[in-house]
Amino acid sequence: MHDHDHHHDHQVVPSDPALRTKALESLLVEKGLVDRAALDALVDAYENKIGPRNGARVVARAWVDPAYKQRLLNNASAAIAELGYGAAQGEHMVVLENSPSVHNMVVCTLCSCYPWPILGLPPVWYKSAPYRSRSVIDPRGVLREFGLEVSEDVEVRVSDSTAEIRYLVLPERPAGTEQMTEDELAALVTRDSMIGVARVAPPAGSKP
Amino acid sequence: MNGIHDMGGMQDMGPIQREENEPVFHHPWEGRVAAMNRALGAWGKWNIDAGRYGIELLSPADYLRMSYYEKWLARNVDFLLKVGLVTPEEMETGKPAPGSQKVTPRLTAAAVPAVAGLRGDFMRREAEAQARFTVGQQVRARNMNPVGHTRLPRYARGKKGMVVRHHGIFVFPDTNAHFLGEQPQHLYSIRFTARELWEDDASPRDSVDIDLWDSYLDHA
C-alpha cells in the first residue's frame, strides 16, 4: 500500500456485483474478518437509524429556540450532540445559516463527503458527476434544475467539503409557521433544504 | 493526482438525475458493500484518505461507468489483497486457504450503534503545528500538481481567497493516504469569489468556500 504507482491494476469489474458481493461476504465471514450480525446491524442503522429526520429536528429546534440556534452556529458538533445525534468523537460539524442575503449550498467535488449522522447516506445525485462538477462553476444553474431561482441580489455561497468538516445548511423558516410546534416544523424540513438545493416550503394551505 | 475524480468546474456531465423517494440502497448488495466497508475499516489496515485514494486509482472510464457501491467493492477487494487480509487464491476460490486460522471479527453487532453514524475516522489532532494564517487574511492556493492524493482541487489552484474559518489541526491527507504519517496541519475555510475562480461570466456576488490545509496556501 506504500507505493505511488498509478497502474490501474484492479480486479476485473464483476459483471454481477450482487454475486461478487455475496461471495466476498461469505469468504470474509468464514475467515472471521467480519461478523454477519454486525453487517446486518450496520445495514439496519444506515436504512433506519440515521437519516434526514435527525437533521430536521436540529433545524426545528434552532427555529424555536434562539439560544440553541446560537450554540448551533458557534459549535455545531456540541449542539447537535445535545439532541443525541453523532457522537462525542463524531464529525466536525459546521452549520451554515441561510438568510435573505445569503443562500448556502453544499457539495463535495472530490468525492462524496456528507454529514451522515444527521442526513444519513447521500442520495445518488449528490454523488453524481453532474452535481459535483457544476455546483461550483454554475450554482445558480444547478439550483434552477432543482426548481429554485435565487435572486441576483442574493449571494450564492457554495461550500466544497474537501476536508473532514461536514456542513449542514440551516434553511430559512418559512412564513406562516408562527403557530407551529417544533414537531410540526421538523416535519416541514426536507433533506434537500439542508443540503441547500431547496427552500423549506410553507405548510400546505398557509397564506403566502 | 490530476484525475477524473477532481471534477469541480467541468461542464459536460449532463443533467442532474433526481429520484423521488429514493431508497437508501437500490439493491441489497449495496447495503452489504457499505456494511463490509465499515466492518473492514475496524481492522485499521487503511484509513479514510487511503480509501479515497483507492477510488481515485480506478481508471477514468471505470470511475465514470461504475456505480458508487461498485467502486467501493472494487476498492475493498483491492485493499484486502494489498494488505494481505485475503490471498489472491482465496479471492479466486471464495474459500479460506486450507489450514488457515479463523480470526475474530473486530467489529461486533453490539458495537455498531456507536459507530454506524460516523462517516470516517476522527481526524482532528492535538498536535504542535504552526498556523501561518488567521481569519481575514488574503491567501493564494498554491499551483501544485502532486501525482499522489491531494485535497486541493484543480479549480482553486493559483487562485486568491480569504480565510473565513480556522478549524484547528487535522491529519494531512496528502501523506496519510500513502501511509507516510499523519503530519497534522492547520485547516482553514478559504472563500474564493466566483469571479476569481471563473472570471467575468460568474455572478459578482457569489463565492465558493473550500477547506484547505496550511501547506496548500501562500500569503497573498
Q: Quote the Cα angle for A87-A170-B191, to 5°.
A: 95
How confident is residue A203, by pLDDT bands cut at 50, 70 and 90? confident
- Rounded to whole angstroms, the Cα distance separating B137 from B130 reads 16
How confident is residue A178, by pLDDT bands cut at 50, 70 and 90? very high
How far are the Cα atoms of A13, A23, A175, A196, B28 from residue B70, in angstroms, in the given order?
8, 14, 44, 28, 13
Q: What is the pLDDT of residue A207?
A: 57
Buried residues in B195-207 as b, exposed as e (16+ CB within 10 A): eebbeeebbebbb
Q: What is the pLDDT of residue A84?
A: 85
CATH superfamily for A50-195 is Nitrile hydratase alpha /Thiocyanate hydrolase gamma (3.90.330.10)
B135 touches chain A (CB under 8 A): no
Q: Count of CB atoms within 10 A of residue B42's CB?
A: 17
Q: Catalytic residue at A99?
A: no
Q: What is the pLDDT of residue B115?
A: 74
Q: What is the pLDDT of residue A89?
A: 42
B205 touches chain A (CB under 8 A): yes
Q: pLDDT tens-digit profile of B155-188? A: 999 999 999 999 999 999 999 999 999 999 999 9
Cα B99 versus chain centre, distance: 37
- Judged against a pLDDT cut of 50, whether residue A188 lies above it is answered with yes
Q: Note the ipTM here.
A: 0.95
User: Residue B25 corresponds to which cell in the numbers above?
Assistant: 440502497
In chain B, which residues have their Cβ closer than 8 Å to the Cβ of A92?
123-124, 167
Interface test with B, best of A16, A33, A150 (most B CBs within 10 A): A33
- Judged against a pLDDT cut of 80, whether residue A88 lies above it is answered with no
The proportion of chain A whose per-residue pLDDT surpasses 70, expressed as a percent, equals: 89
Q: Catalytic residue at A108?
A: yes
Q: What is the pLDDT of residue A7?
A: 47
**Which residues partner with B213 through β-bridges?**
B187
How confident is residue A204, by pLDDT bands cut at 50, 70 and 90? confident
Domains identified in chain B and CATH numbers: 28-115 (1.10.472.20), 138-219 (2.30.30.50)
Measured in degrees and rounded to the nearest 5, phi and psi for residue A46 equal -65, -40
Q: What is the pLDDT of residue A165?
A: 94
User: Which residue among the candidates A77, A113, A135, A193 is catalytic per the annotation?
Assistant: A113
B219 touches chain A (CB under 8 A): no
Q: What is the pLDDT of residue A3?
A: 44
Contact B105 A156 (CB under 8 A): no
Interface test with A, best of B18, B26, B68, B102 (most A CBs within 10 A): B18
Task: Give the closest-approach CA distance of B118 to chain A in angstroms.
Answer: 6
- Rounded to whole angstroms, the Cα distance separating B170 from B124 reads 4
Contact A17 B29 (CB under 8 A): yes
Contact B8 A109 (CB under 8 A): yes
- Rounded to whole angstroms, the Cα distance separating B135 from A144 reads 33
- Rounded to whole angstroms, the Cα distance separating A185 from A181 reads 6
User: Which residue among the candidates A26, A99, A111, A133 is catalytic per the annotation?
Assistant: A111
Q: What is the pLDDT of residue B118?
A: 57
Q: Catalytic residue at A15?
A: no
In chain B, which residues have their Cβ closer than 8 Å to the Cβ of A152?
203, 205
Q: pLDDT tens-digit profile of B117-164? A: 654 457 888 888 899 999 999 999 999 999 999 999 999 999 999 999
Q: What is the mean pLDDT of residues A136-151?
A: 98
Q: pLDDT tens-digit profile of B68-105? A: 999 999 999 999 999 999 999 999 999 999 999 999 99
Q: What is the pLDDT of residue A4?
A: 45
Q: pLDDT tens-digit profile of A12-68? A: 444 699 999 999 999 999 999 999 999 999 999 999 988 999 999 999 999 999 999
User: Could you state, in order of their start, the residue ranges of all structural domains in chain A?
Assistant: 17-48, 50-195
How far are the Cα atoms of A123, B115, B119, B146, B184 from residue A132, in angstroms, in the given order?
12, 27, 19, 22, 27
Rg over alpha carbons for chain A, rounded to the nearest Å, is 20
B 31-50 near A (Cβ less than 8 A): 31-36, 38-40, 43, 46, 48, 50
Nearest CA-CA partner of B37 in B67, B79, B4: B79
In this prediction the pTM is 0.93
Q: What is the pLDDT of residue B123?
A: 87
SS (H, E, C) A12-32: CCCCCHHHHHHHHHHHHHHHC
**Using an 8 Å Cβ cutoff, are B163 and B214 in contact?**
no
User: Residue A206 corresponds to which cell in the numbers above?
Assistant: 398557509
Q: pLDDT tens-digit profile of B191-219? A: 999 999 999 889 999 999 999 999 999 99
Q: Catalytic residue at A112?
A: yes
- Rounded to whole angstroms, the Cα distance separating B133 from B142 reads 14
Contact A27 B31 (CB under 8 A): no
In chain A, which residues have their Cβ closer than 8 Å to the Cβ of B215?
none
Q: What is the pLDDT of residue B112?
A: 87
Q: What is the pLDDT of residue A117?
A: 86
Task: Give the closest-approach CA distance of B13 to chain A in angstroms.
Answer: 5
Smallest Cβ–Cβ distance between B167 and the set A146, A157, A165 belongs to A165
Q: What is the pLDDT of residue B91?
A: 96
- Rounded to whole angstroms, the Cα distance separating A165 from A145 reads 27
Measured in degrees and rounded to the nearest 5, phi and psi for residue A193 equal -70, -25
Q: pLDDT tens-digit profile of B19-74? A: 999 999 999 999 999 999 999 999 999 999 999 999 999 999 999 999 999 999 99
